[in-house]
Structure 1
């Protein structure tokens, strides 16, 4: 049988894909690593078919490895006998807890079949909310907001901005303009979109930042028309 890693999208149950919903409704058991993903899953799965696994929010590598191994040991027997789903907010392959589970299963339970069901990522939710276009030819980097941040790309999307004022100072010093989004499309907690880091002084794991260098790259091409001096057929031009 199969273990499905199902992306639930950013937190709004209406943004779960059709394929994701089909897998959830057919699964014998659906494992959730946290309260928010569980809340979304219960829109499609009764509580009686949801199991919990512990993925602690810590940087202690020993504790994390123990938790991943225990989760894999819990899930593997179920996946050998039936259809199992592991749900995660966003997309299973983008900054997701499912990656830890997949690697642990490959190491200790390599016979378990895996399939990924993509979901709407936090990046898509963020760019949609801000009206940001990631244009062709742009240099875009995804990065966690900890340690030294890259300063070369035209555009940055930062995950897990838990210290917005410190992140803001570092990015502005590097020449970026910065906007923030917190709990976008989530049904729990307050949604905030702002360019003021002081509004986000309270730490929240579900905060992203978008940073852009104002003069980086060419303006996007647009279709415009002008009539030549002879009054002949308009000529399409690209404005930059």
Structure 2
């Protein structure tokens, strides 16, 4: 039988993909790693088909390994009797808890088939939420900025896990970046905030993103102009 890693999107139930919904309709059991992903899955799966797995928020390697092994054992046992799904916010392959489960299944339950169903990630949905255009040919880096970290170098960066926006903003501004912040973008749980003022998102929240762009970078946007007769002219 098969374990499906299903990306639920950023958190709004109607951003689950058609394929993801089809898998959730078909499997016998759906496991979630937390209340936010569970609340989205509940829109598509009856409560009786939902199961919880414990993935503790800790850096203790022994505690993490134990939790991953326990979760993999539970999922593998369920998959012996039918197809199951593991749901996660965003995309299963982008900074996701699912990666730990998949690697542990591969190590201890190599006979279990695993398939991934992509989901809309906040790391890509941020562009729409923040009103940012990432034009063709643009270089864009994805970095983590937890606890006031402020990576620099690339002209444009998406920063995730911005848990101390004020400290991050101070460092990035000094390094020559303009920064915009988005909190709980396309999420049904909690208040969505889009702002250029880091104090608006000063309270620690794991689901805060930032877009940082170096001031004064040159842009080469493809455009088309039209004369009065509607004939296209190159710009």
Q: Same fold (TM over 0.5)?
A: yes
1: distance between equivalents of 2:80 and 2:35? 26
2:20 is matched with 20
1: distance between equivalents of 2:38 and 2:231? 57
Count of aligned pairs between the two proteins: 234
2: distance between equivalents of 1:234 and 1:184? 40
2: distance between equivalents of 1:105 and 1:58? 21
Change (3 A) 1:235 1:9: closer
After superposition, the C-alpha distances for 1:29-86 in whole angstroms (9 at most, x for unaligned) are 0000000000000001011100000111122222211111111011112123211000
| Deviation, structure 1 residue 170 | 1.6
After superposition, the C-alpha distances for 1:99-122 in whole angstroms (9 at most, x for unaligned) are 111111111111110100011100
Is residue 165 of structure 1 aligned with residue 162 of structure 2?
no
In angstroms, what is the RMSD of aligned CA positions?
Answer: 1.8
2:2 is matched with 2
| Deviation, structure 1 residue 172 | 1.0
In the alignment, structure 2 segments of 5+ residues that lack a partner are none
2:215 is matched with 214
**What SS is found at the alignment partner of 2:224?**
strand
2: distance between equivalents of 1:236 and 1:108? 62
Kindly indicate whether the alpha-carbon contact (under 8 Å) linking 1:181 and 1:194 is maintained by their aligned counterparts in 2.
yes
2: distance between equivalents of 1:144 and 1:151? 11
| Structure exhibiting the larger radius of gyration computed from Cα positions | 1
Q: Residues 63-82 of structure 1: matches in 2 within 5 Å? A: 63-82=63-82
1: distance between equivalents of 2:232 and 2:134? 28
1:176 is matched with 177
TM-score scaled by structure 2?
Answer: 0.94
2:37 is matched with 37
TM-score scaled by structure 1?
Answer: 0.92
1:91 is matched with 91
After superposition, the C-alpha distances for 1:126-165 in whole angstroms (9 at most, x for unaligned) are 1111111111211111111137543221211111111111
Kindly indicate whether the alpha-carbon contact (under 8 Å) linking 1:154 and 1:217 is maintained by their aligned counterparts in 2.
no
